[in-house]
Structures are given as C-alpha cells and as structure tokens.
Structure 1
C-alpha cells in the first residue's frame, strides 16, 4: 500500500513539473503556443540578408527562432523589441546571442 501512495505522489509531482516547464516555454516564446511554429528558415533568410556573415547569422538565427518561435521582422537592431525572448537571449560570455 505504501508503494502505491509513493507512486501516485511521484506521478503527481511529475505532472506538475511538466506543466511548469510547458508554461515557461510558452512565456519564453512571447506567449504564443509552441504548437503553431513559424517558418524559421524563411524568417531568418530575411533577417540575415544584409549580414556580413550570412551563413553564421542564419545558423544562429534559426537556433534562436526555434527556442523563441519568433524572429524580428527587420534587419536592424531597432526591430529586436518585437520578440523579447529573441532580443534577451545571451551567450555564456553575456553577449547578445541572436543576430
């Protein structure tokens, strides 16, 4: 009997943890559901079109896009505020990660 109570308690905690992770991901994506993902390749192609290192820019942009489900519309720094998750992501060196 004690085993089943422990099992139910663990299962309950696992469900709560999964919900917290899911809500965290939705918040990071700017409140949009992760089920409706955008075309990261196309958005990043536009975003990196004027970059001096387009291949590197595109690769980094796609990583950020997949994490945030958002890419700023323009090619300048001014449009970064359109996607808070994208704009605030930092590298280990505390530099802006997303181009």
Structure 2
C-alpha cells in the first residue's frame, strides 16, 4: 500500500511539472508575440535604412506623394518609426505624432 501511494505521489508530481513547463512555455511564447507586435510600429522599431520602404508604403495612396515622402522620411529618421496604414494611426508612434510645425500643425504625414 505504501509503494502504491509513493508511486501515485511521484506520478502526480511528474504530471504537475510537465503541466507547469507547458504553461511556462506558452506564457513565454505569448510575451514574445506581444513584444513583436508592439515593437513592430512603436518608437525605435526601425533602422534609418528601412525608412524609404516604410514611407513608400505610408505615402502610396496620397495625391501629394513627393511632400509626403519628404516629410515621412524626415520624421522616420528622427523617430525611427512609421505608423501602420496609409493615414492616421499616429498614436502608435508618439514622436511621429507629436512633432509639430511652427504653426502647430502635424509635421509628419
């Protein structure tokens, strides 16, 4: 009877260890996904060499392509981020959102 109880406790301990390792691995994977998604567009998420490509994407649907590209690349070099989409979403990159012209308007497209 004592051997059976010891075996049961051993199996229970082993099962909880495996379960906690799987849970721990899942938590680590979740954190990595969140970190990757968060840093994809946030401040400092780009290198300056990536700015032309990101600005081409950002300015693709505007009729003012040249000024959009000029200011987008200027903002990208300073902030090292470009918001997702073609318009808006500036809250994702605070530097890009908060840089203003002398008149107080938005500097970054």
TM-score (norm 1): 0.62
Residue equivalent to 1:14: none
Whether 1:75 aligns to 2:79 is no
**Paired residue for 1:62, among 70, 73, 77?**
73
Matches within 5 A, 1:14-93: 30=43, 32=44, 37-38=47-48, 39-77=50-88, 79-93=89-103
Cα RMSD (Å): 1.9
Q: Which has the higher helix share?
A: 2
TM-score (norm 2): 0.56
**Number of matched residues?**
67
- Structure 1 gap segments, 5+ residues each: 1-28
SS at match of 2:57: helix
